[in-house]
Amino acid sequence: MGKHPPEQEEQAEPNTRLSGTPQEMERRFQATFEQAAVGMAHVAPDGHFLTINQKFCSIVGYTHTELLQHTFQEITYPDDLSVDIAFVEQLLAGERTTYTMEKRYIHQNGSLIWINLTVSLVCADDGTPQYFISVIEDISQRKCLEKNLQQQNELLQRIINNAPDIIARFDHELRHLSVNHTATRVTGLAAADFIGKTNREMGMPDAQVEIWDKALQAVFATGEVGTIEFSFPTPDGVHWYQSKLTPERDQSGNIVAVQAVARDVTDLRQTQEKLKRSEARSQRLSDANIIGIVFAEGTRIIEANDAFLQIVGYQQADVQAQRIDWATMTPPEYASLDEHTLQQLQSRGSCAPFEKEYIRKDGSRIPILIGAAAVQQNPLQWICFVMDLSEQKRINDELVRAAHAFQMLADHVPDIITRHDTTTFRYLYANAAVTRATGLPPEAFPGKTSRKLGIPEEQCLFFEQQLTKVVEAGLPFTVEYNFPIDGRMRQYQSNLIPEYDGDQKMISILVITYDITELKEQELRKDAFISIAGHELRTPLTALKGNLQLADRQVNKLLSDRQEPSILQVRTELQTIQKRLARSLHQVGLQQRLINDLLDVSRITANKLTLSIEECDLKNLVHESVEDQRTNTPTRTITLEMQVTEPVIVRADQGRIEQVISNYLNNAIRYSNKDQLITVGLTVQDQQARIWVQDHGPGLSAEAQKHVWERFYQEPGVSIQTGSGVGLGLGLYICQTIIARHGGQIGVESVLKQGSTFWFTLPLAH
């Protein structure tokens, strides 16, 4: 075998002290082998276990007998086997005498066990390999710790690299040792550009380098944590950072590096600037005294602006002397509301604005709107914003009264008022007048369309078209149309008005509908009246002019005749002239009557029709009126039926009553044939005198009897039987007004094709 190396020779002597009989040496080896704190095994060159100690069995979980039936290859984790086999081959080839490696065994329960393996080869004297001596140490726990440490380091590195803060480490020379990803993202530089360089070498401005170097040197010198704030230009603009500098120490406590964690405080600085500006605005708001502002603690008001003090009637001296107690200023009925508000301030930090009242210094009450927010919790302090609602309350009360007045007006006006939405045109409101036009109660309309209400489709389409025009144009407009009511076509005019909210958004359409049937009829009558009046006024003038011209010619003829006319001839000419003058006077009378009618209507319209009331005998007045009419129309037969024998005394304007009787007689003559009798009568009953005029003309329909007393009314289809002209349609209207002013009544009884009886009554004087 050759000489031992020096080390082996030095060890030879101690080993001789352990020498003994082979049996003793075997026993000692066996005891050492079994009691070893590490796993030991003798392994054949082919891998079979030859001898195994108990520690080895404990590590891999197999019994001694089970292991003797296995090879080391069978219990080695496949991923580690190739390296192990390579080392074995090197031992067998004599390329090495021993090897050490970390590998994994497959435990008997299937789990993996990390071990530290040391192997050496034992050969025979002739160099033939006999067996391997394998020593294993269970390092699973260490491997687990290493794995955990690695995972923690990886996690820490991920945290560092993904942190929003810039993290860097500096050595004693103030050079960068490392930087995280945020530093590279913010600066646009790679990590390698930082390592080994100072801030100055990185191109940082001198003013900032001085701040950094001074702060880093202070941490290295004192070991105390430092803080600096600096700005840094980035692609997004200048950002502000706040950096915390922390010393790193080795196991001996020596500072080996400084870690800098820089946080972007740009938003914070901007927020602080905004807060400063907000505080300045708040102070300006308080000083401007636009709204009452109060700070309170407990029940005391500790600060208030002049606007609040003006609301409650106190002075700043009262605040300074702590004489203002908001609880005392609050009426008892608001105590529970205030208690709830304090609870909200404590739990939520604020309360929704609410209305209450304060008792002013002079004892009067004032309505306010108040909102509050806590500014401190212990002790609780809060700020209140107080608005005087006195004017608003007054306006609201006026609005309520106006709304009530509008509702009262809408409920009682004859005009139809509705409100519609701007999309489906559903009714939002309808007043009581709608019932007259539709037969439906107003409460049936809200929320429904015209179709849902059963209104005919043609009318629904018409209204939808009009409402659509308003929505599209955004402007009001007026439309006229016809609508059947109770079998009669009536005319309506609707004003469609868009309604807007405070943002000028159209929210509804107001429709005010007027029944203009009577108005249209009045317009037609007025037009007819103008035409008739022109004709009636021109006709007498034409006749008058003709008669006067003829009379003038006859006079001129007499005057220009060279021969002296005989008396008979003069008389004949004068008689002719007299007839023409008589006809002219008659035409003047007609003209005067027409003009008087127009004047009377004007006086009635202006409420200036005057009456000269005095006691008179109605019996005599009727008799005289009939006689006058007989004289004016000698060809007509007028009979008088006086059912009274004594005078009938009334208080009246004699001329106006004669005017009424004359009008009745003229109408009877005008609308009856010359051979038909006209009767005038007078009766007295129940302290009322009744005068009537009966004719046998064409009579009046029931509808005509309703309208015959109206201005300008002309019954269609009724022709004049006697005389010329159709009249102005004013006489009966004037008669009705005159009799009404006397406290009497007026009326007509008529049957078609049989005639009419017009009458009026007057109260007796006694």
Please write the tens of the pLDDT for every residue from 627-646.
988 988 899 999 999 999 99
End of a domain among 331, 354, 388?
A: 388
Is-contact 380 345, C-beta < 8 A? Answer: yes
CA distance from start to end of the chain:
179
pLDDT band at 17 (very low <50, low <70, confident <90, very high): very low
* pLDDT band with cut points at 50, 70 and 90 for residue 291: confident
The residue that leads in pLDDT, 596 or 345, is 345
pLDDT at 372 over 70: yes
Does residue 568 sit in the same domain as residue 480?
no
Closest listed residue to residue 491, CA positions, set 521, 528, 462, 466: 521
CA angle (756 as vertex; 752, 760 as ends), nearest 5: 145
Residue 485's domain is classified under what CATH number?
3.30.450.20
Q: Give the per-residue pLDDT at 547.
A: 66
**Mean local confidence (pLDDT), 346-367:** 91
pLDDT on residue 575:
79
For 526-545, give one letter per residue: b (16+ CB within 10 A) or e. Answer: eebbeebbeebbebbeebbe
Last residue of a domain, one of 145, 175, 198: 145
Domain that holds residue 266: 163-270
Q: Is residue 7 a part of any domain in this protein?
A: no
> Which position has the higher pLDDT, 445 or 412?
445
Going by their DSSP bridges, the two strands 488-500 and 477-485 should be labelled as antiparallel
* pLDDT tens-digit map of 673-694: 888 999 999 999 999 999 999 9
pLDDT-derived band at 393, boundaries 50, 70, 90: confident
Residue-wise pLDDT tens digits, 514-569: 888 888 877 776 666 665 555 455 555 666 666 677 777 767 776 676 667 677 77
Lowest mean pLDDT among 17-26, 81-90, 115-124, 636-645: 17-26
Answer for the pair 636, 723: CB distance below 8 angstroms, yes or no: no
* pLDDT tens for each residue of 706-717: 888 887 777 766
- Summarised one tens digit per residue, pLDDT across range 534-549 is 545 555 566 666 667 7
DSSP character at residue 76: B
Cα 47 to Cα 70, 88, 110, distances in angstroms = 8, 10, 20
Could you give the strand order of the β-sheet that contains 226-234, starting from the edge strand earlier in sequence?
A: 176-179, 166-170, 255-264, 237-249, 226-234
User: Looking at the predicted structure, is the pLDDT value of residue 755 above 90?
Assistant: yes
Q: Residue 14 pLDDT more than 50?
A: no
Is 585 within 8 Å of 577 (Cβ atoms)?
no
What is the model's pLDDT at position 18? 45
Strands (E), 613-663: 614-617, 638-642, 649-652
CATH of the domain at 676: 3.30.565.10
Distance (Å, rounded) from C-alpha 610 to C-alpha 279? 80
- Answer yes or no: is pLDDT of 365 > 90: yes
Q: Is 600 within the bounds of a domain?
A: no
- pLDDT for the residue 25: 65
pLDDT of residue 532: 54
Structure tokens at 194: 């930082």
Given the structure tokens 């019954």, which residue do they identify?
715
Average confidence score pLDDT of the chain? 84
Mean pLDDT of 386-401: 86
Contacts of 698 (CB under 8 A, 6+ apart): 671, 718, 752, 753, 755
What is the C-alpha separation between 692 and 334, in angstroms, rounded? 78
Asked whether 491 and 482 are in contact (CB, 8 A), the reply is yes
Residue 175 lies in a domain: yes
- Bridge-based pairing of strands 638-642 and 226-234 is unpaired
DSSP 405-453: HHHHHHHHSSSEEEEE-SSS--EEEE-TTHHHHHSS-GGGSTT--TTTT
Q: Is the confidence at residue 574, as pLDDT, over 60?
A: yes
Computed on alpha carbons and rounded to an integer, the radius of gyration of the chain in Å comes to: 63
Q: How many domains does the chain have?
A: 6
When mean pLDDT is compared across 75-79, 87-91, 400-404, 651-655, the lowest value belongs to: 400-404
559 shares a domain with 486: no
Q: Specify whether 542 is located in the same domain as 556.
A: yes
Return the SS3 of 503: coil
Q: Is 450 domain-assigned? A: yes
Tell me which residue of 615, 618, 613, 680 sits closest to 648, measured CA to CA: 618
Mean pLDDT of 302-324: 90
pLDDT of residue 91: 94
One domain, residues 648 and 566:
no
pLDDT at 351 over 50: yes
Determine the Cα–Cα distance for residues 481 and 517; give it in Å rounded to an integer.
Answer: 10
- Does residue 29 carry a pLDDT above 70? no
Least confident of 248-252, 425-429, 435-439, 639-643: 435-439
Nearest alpha carbon to residue 735 among 646, 604, 615, 626? 604
pLDDT at 520: 80
- Same-domain status, 353 and 384: yes
As a whole number, mean pLDDT of residues 575-592 equals 69
Tokens encoding 271: 């927020």
- The share of the chain scoring above pLDDT 70, in percent, equals 85
Is the Cα torsion angle 574, 576, 582, 587 positive or negative in sign? negative
Q: Looking at the domain assignment, is residue 645 inside a domain?
A: yes
Regarding whether 699 and 615 lie in a shared domain, the answer is yes
Give the number of other Cβ atoms within 10 Å of residue 689's Cβ. 23
The C-alpha atoms of residue 139 and residue 116 are separated, in whole angstroms, by: 6
Percent of the chain with pLDDT over 90: 44
Residue 9 maps to a domain: no
Show which of 145, 172, 203 is a domain's final residue.
145
pLDDT at 8: 41
Residue type at 67?
L
**Model pLDDT, residue 11:** 42
pLDDT in tens, 488-509: 788 889 999 999 998 899 999 9
Per the domain annotation, does 247 fall within a domain? yes
Confidence of residue 9 (pLDDT cuts 50, 70, 90): very low
Same domain, residue pair 718 and 741: yes
pLDDT at 541: 63
Does residue 16 have a pLDDT over 50? no
Instruction: Give the separation between CA 407 and CA 402, rounded to whole angstroms.
Output: 8
Q: Distances from the Cα of 545 to the Cαs of 453, 558, 581, 590, 731, in angstroms?
A: 66, 20, 11, 14, 26
Helix (H) or strand (E) holding 626: helix 618-632
Are residue 714 and residue 637 in the same domain, yes or no?
A: yes
Give 512's strand partners. Answer: 417, 495
Q: How far is CA 163 from CA 25, 179, 183, 231, 332, in A?
A: 66, 12, 10, 19, 58
Peptide bond into 484 cis (omega under 30): no
Residues 239, 114 within the same domain: no
Q: Which residues contact 36 (CB under 8 A, 6 or more apart)?
A: 53, 55
Co-location of 56 and 107 in the same domain: yes
Residue 6, pLDDT score:
43
Beta-strand pair 746-751/688-694: unpaired
pLDDT, mean of residues 445-474: 92
Question: β-strands 237-249, 255-264: how paired?
Answer: antiparallel
d(CA 330, CA 301): 13
Q: Which spans in 93-128 are helix H?
A: none
Same domain, 404 and 507: yes
In terms of domains, do 443 and 535 share one? no
